[in-house]
Structure formats: C-alpha cells, structure tokens
Chains A and B, each alone.
Chain A
Amino acid sequence: MAEVHIIGQIVGASGFPETSLFCKWGVHAGGAWRLLSGLKEGQTQVDNPQIGEMSYWSHPIDLHYATKGLQGWPKIHLQVWHQDSFGRCQLYGYGYCHVPSSPGHHRINCVTWRPLGTWQEQLAHTFVGGGPQLRSPDTIYSGADRYRLHTEAMGTVELQLGVIMSRFDKFGKERERKRERERKRERERKREREREREREREREREREKEREREARPIQLQQANVRTVGEAEPAAASSMMSTVDPTEATPPATADTPPFTSPAPSSAPW
C-alpha cells in the first residue's frame, strides 16, 4: 500500500471583515484511504491580532494515510468563524483545498466564501449578525448541490503543508503481482478439484468391482452345487474301473463325495 504523510500547519487567515477568528478544519479522503495516525479534524484557537490584520493560528497538522488507489485524494475543508468579545460565534466563510499531490513543501492560499440569504436576511445580518449556514459540511468540498447556492467572497486562509510520499512507484507492480498470485491459486484449486473428482471416480470403480466380487461367489457356489452332483457318477465309474473292474454296483451314492470344494473353474481370488 502506498503511504502519504501530510506535515504542516494552518498558518492563519486574512482578508476578513473582522479579526478575532478561529477555524474548524477537517480532512476528507476517499474510501480507499485509511488514516493510520494523526487527527483528521479539529478547531484552532481564537486569535485577536495586535499587529496587522492577519489572524495567526499556527495549528499543526500531522497525518499519515495509507491508500490502495489514487481516487479520493485527501482534501482539507475549512470553516472560518468570528468570535466577538461577548463570546458569540458567527460564520465567516467556507473553503476547501486539495492536499498537494507532489512531495515537498507547499504554501497554499485557500479562498473562502459565505452563503447569502434573501435581501431581508442580509439586512438583518448587517444589524444583528448570524446568517445562513450549510446544513451539511459535505457541500464545502463537493460540487453536487452547489447550483442552489448564492454566495459572496470572503478572505483567504494560508496553509503550509509538507507532503512525503512513499511506495507509490511500487504501487502498480504490487497489484500486478497480486493478481498473478490470485490466478495461480485459482489454477491450483482447479487442478485440485480435478484430482479429487478423479479419485472419486476411482473409488467408485473400486466399489463397483467389490460389489461384483461379492455377488459372484454366491452365484459360483450355487453353480458348484450343481456341478458337484453331476460329477459324482463320473468319479464313481472311474474309481470302479481302476480298483475292481469285476464289481458292477456303483458305491458312489452311498459314499459322500471326497471333496466339497467347488468345481475347478473357480473365480480368481
């Protein structure tokens, strides 16, 4: 995964109607980005400058992101508010800027705008303050519903950001290698499955043969009973002819046949 370090600060703001400003800031990144360390939002102090008209915050930013893709590069969105001596806060501007995408030190001036209401609201604003605010801060950095807004220009926020990038050159190659490994694993699994099926078929055939062998002895035994009965007279006659040719009575039926084993055509065990 490629990594980005954002190290810098929100320096301050200038060009606003009043000083005594503070800033609410946040960093928004796409779905492929993961924040590893650092705070991705915060609020600066309220600065009332004694010299000049620029409010200085020097608010440190130190973020460490890891990413799988270039989409959704981080953006910093800002809301500049004014706090008066009584502690009341009033919105002075919204703004956003992309985090620089090249490594190194960068000075960024982020411009801001404030939504305008109807002329009645603007009149009330000059006397009482207040004014319309965005319902959801997403509109600050997205262009989706901007066409409904009517805004006026406000001052600029100065940021100094240092960007350190790492492992971006190996990024694409790593993904290629990953895909290669995935395909290899798929092929392996396929071959495994093939072999499994082969073994299954082998085992099926084995079982078939087992069953055949088990079935055959019964048939052979039945066959043996018949063949043995038929063979007896032949044996008896042969015995008579060899031992005593003069005797005529066949003793075969009285004698039990010497062998009860099956006929010579036995199945190969």
Chain B
Amino acid sequence: MAAVNPSVFLLTVNGQIEGANFPEYDNLYCKYCYVYGHDWTPTSGLEEGITQITCKGSLSNNLIWNFPLETTFKSTSPSGWPQLVVSVYGPDVFGNDVVRGYGATHIPITPGQHSRTIPMFVPEPTWRLQRFTSWLLGRRPEYTDPKVVAQGEGRGVTRVRSQGFVTVSFHIMTKDMKKLGYDTGPSSAQPYSTDWSAD
C-alpha cells in the first residue's frame, strides 16, 4: 500500500555488533540501545539488547560477539537521526561487574553496506586517590543513563579515558526518502544497491 504522496520515510537497519578490541580487558559483554529525535519512531525490531559474554580467542586478540541488529524506523524529518549507543561491561579483579566503555555512532545515512569502528571511553575520576579507591572497591564512575553519550550538551567538563574499540557493520535500506525530497547522495559502492524506494 504505497501512498501516492508519502509523509513518512522508512529507515531499515540490518547489521551486527561484530566484536571489540580491548587490549587490557577480557570476558566482556555489550549492551546496546538506540537514541533518536522526536520525529522518529521504531516500527519493528528491538530497541535495546544485551549480548553474550565473550573472551579472547587463543590465536587472536579480538573479542567476537556477532550479535544481530534488525530495526526499522519511520520519521518525517532527518533531524534526530538515530544513533546506536553501545556500552561494554566486564569483571574486574575482584569479580565486580564494571563498565569498560561507552560509545555512540550515527546510523549511516546512505543505503548500502557500512562498517564503523566506535571508540569506547569511560568517565575518569579527577583525583588519583579516587582512582585508587574506585579500583579497590569496584565502584567505578558510571553514567546513570548511557544515552547521555549520544548527546552533545553537558559533556564539556567531563573527563574520560578511551580504552578500546567496538566494530559494528550495517546494511542500510531507506524507503521514500527521495519522494519526500531528501537527497542522501550515492549509495556506498557495493554491487547491490539496497535502496528499494519505488521511484
């Protein structure tokens, strides 16, 4: 039932959280969620999830999750384009579950296949003494709401330490963006152009 004059366009995200690269930590799991503006609504798929706990293989230093992402959004305007917010957790020396990194990236805007490497950072205590006590007690500074990572305001005075990367791959499809007049440029150079908008 394609409308003659559509008022919304669709964005389909198919992809996976492939894995992570944290030189100093092991046995990590990852939580993800989407942050988007007022004009956007998810129409299908999960908005958040948790991966399994993984450890480094014997031959490589990589951590692999291979976790599926399948979500579709609809919107009237590209403002507030969805972002994928990823948080990685793992055990510390004493067995407490502590945060190892937060990161966020925009969903790619062009249809096609994309790969993103998201740098992960943790908030850092300002004093060295505080750093030692938090290591001892297992109570690291955390964000109360990981979605803060996707916003620009209020970050100006925070100190963080980046300590790893998460690799995510996306296959993006859009529908009716051209009909609404939005030009997102050429699809990424792959043999299959996955923009199935009926133009």
**CB < 8 Å neighbour of B78 from A5, A12, A61:** A5
- Which A residues touch B24, using CB under 8 A? 50
Q: Does A110 sit at the interface, judged by CB under 8 A?
A: no
- CB-contacts of A45-60 with B (<8 A): 45-51, 55-56, 58-60
Contact indicator A105/B160 (Cβ below 8 Å): no
Contact indicator B184/A103 (Cβ below 8 Å): yes
CB distance from B25 to the nearest CB of A (A): 10
The count of A-to-B residue pairs whose CB atoms sit within 8 angstroms is: 126
Given contacts A162-B106, A162-B108, A164-B109, whether A62 and B37 have CB atoms under 8 Å apart is yes
Interface string of A1-38 (1 = CB under 8 A from B): 00001011101100000000010000000000000111
Q: Does A236 sit at the interface, judged by CB under 8 A?
A: no
Contact indicator A42/B162 (Cβ below 8 Å): no
**CB < 8 Å neighbour of B161 from A44, A49, A58, A170:** A49
Interface string of B70-87 (1 = CB under 8 A from A): 000000011111010000
Contact indicator B81/A104 (Cβ below 8 Å): no
Q: Does B185 sit at the interface, judged by CB under 8 A?
A: yes
Contact indicator B156/A43 (Cβ below 8 Å): yes
- Which A residues touch B104, using CB under 8 A? 9, 58, 60
A59 to B119 Cα, complex, angstroms: 11
- Which B residues touch A141, using CB under 8 A? none
Contact indicator B161/A164 (Cβ below 8 Å): no
A101 to B184 Cα, complex, angstroms: 11
Q: Does B186 sit at the interface, judged by CB under 8 A?
A: yes
Q: Is the interface of A mostly helix, strand, loop or mixed?
A: strand
- Which A residues touch B126, using CB under 8 A? 87
A46 to B109 Cα, complex, angstroms: 28
- CB-contacts of B104-145 with A (<8 A): 104-106, 108-110, 114, 118-119, 121, 124, 126
Q: Does B163 sit at the interface, judged by CB under 8 A?
A: yes
CB distance from A12 to the nearest CB of B (A): 7
A201 to B182 Cα, complex, angstroms: 57
Contact indicator A59/B110 (Cβ below 8 Å): no
CB distance from A69 to the nearest CB of B (A): 18
* Closest residue on chain B to residue A24 by CB atoms: B156
Interface string of B153-173 (1 = CB under 8 A from A): 101101111111000000000
* Closest residue on chain B to residue A64 by CB atoms: B79
- Which A residues touch B119, using CB under 8 A? 11-12, 56, 58
Given contacts A5-B79, A9-B106, A103-B185, whether A50 and B160 have CB atoms under 8 Å apart is no
* Closest residue on chain B to residue A87 by CB atoms: B126
Q: Does B23 sit at the interface, judged by CB under 8 A?
A: yes
Q: Does A146 sit at the interface, judged by CB under 8 A?
A: no
Q: Is the interface of B mostly helix, strand, loop or mixed?
A: loop
Contact indicator B110/A62 (Cβ below 8 Å): no
Q: Does B15 sit at the interface, judged by CB under 8 A?
A: no
**CB < 8 Å neighbour of B80 from A22, A46, A62:** A62
Interface size on A, residues (CB 8 A): 44
Q: Does A195 sit at the interface, judged by CB under 8 A?
A: no
- Which A residues touch B58, using CB under 8 A? none
Contact indicator B106/A8 (Cβ below 8 Å): yes
Q: Does B183 sit at the interface, judged by CB under 8 A?
A: yes
Q: Does B63 sit at the interface, judged by CB under 8 A?
A: no
CB distance from B79 to the nearest CB of A (A): 5
* Closest residue on chain A to residue B103 by CB atoms: A58
Q: Does B95 sit at the interface, judged by CB under 8 A?
A: no
* Closest residue on chain A to residue B164 by CB atoms: A51
A8 to B180 Cα, complex, angstroms: 21
Contact indicator A47/B108 (Cβ below 8 Å): no
- Which B residues touch A51, using CB under 8 A? 23, 162-164
Contact indicator A47/B162 (Cβ below 8 Å): yes
If A47-B162, A50-B163, A60-B152 are given as contacts, then 12 extra A-B residue pairs at C-beta distance below 8 Å, sorted by A number, are A5-B81, A45-B121, A45-B160, A46-B160, A50-B161, A58-B104, A58-B149, A60-B104, A103-B184, A105-B109, A105-B110, A166-B181
The 19 sampled A-B contact pairs (Cβ below 8 Å) are A7-B81, A38-B79, A45-B156, A45-B159, A46-B160, A48-B159, A50-B162, A51-B163, A56-B121, A59-B152, A60-B151, A60-B152, A62-B80, A104-B185, A105-B108, A164-B109, A164-B182, A164-B184, A165-B182
Q: Which residues of B contact A (CB under 8 A)?
A: 23-24, 37, 77-81, 83, 103-106, 108-110, 114, 118-119, 121, 124, 126, 149-153, 155-156, 158-164, 180-186, 188
